[in-house]
Amino acid sequence: MPTSKEQQQQQQQTERANAPGAPWCFNARYVREFCAVVEKLSPNATLRFESCASPITPFLLSCNYEPRLGQHFEDPQLELLLMPVQVRR
């Protein structure tokens, strides 16, 4: 049976911003600016989030876009590597 000290340590671990299961936090300005670019360039204005499911590893945000000039063999992708912000409580 865990002691009160062990329970406190578990509670502190859970409350840490980089603990497993903690929420992801992003700088809103970076997300807003990337979404504005996606809205202009992407034919369907959809954005993909890819992650390692950890609040301390970067996310890859990506979308397909239609090139304005030239011919391409495949659809180009716009990508942004976005690091979560660690929020202290």
pLDDT per position as a tens digit, 63-81: 988 776 666 667 788 899 9
Domain count, the chain: 1
Q: Look at residue 89 and tell me if it is in a domain.
A: no
pLDDT value at residue 62: 92
Taking a C-beta distance cutoff of 8 angstroms, is the pair 43, 64 a contact?
Answer: yes
In the predicted model, residues of the chain with pLDDT beneath 70 are 1-3, 7, 9-22, 52-53, 55, 68-73, 89
Is 87 part of a structural domain of the chain? no
| pLDDT, position 3 | 64
Tokens of 47: 């954005």
Q: Is residue 73 part of a domain?
A: yes
Chain-centre distance of CA 31, in angstroms? 9
**Residue 88 covered by a domain:** no
Q: Is residue 51 part of a domain?
A: yes
pLDDT score at 65: 83
Residue range(s) defining the domain that contains residue 12? 4-82
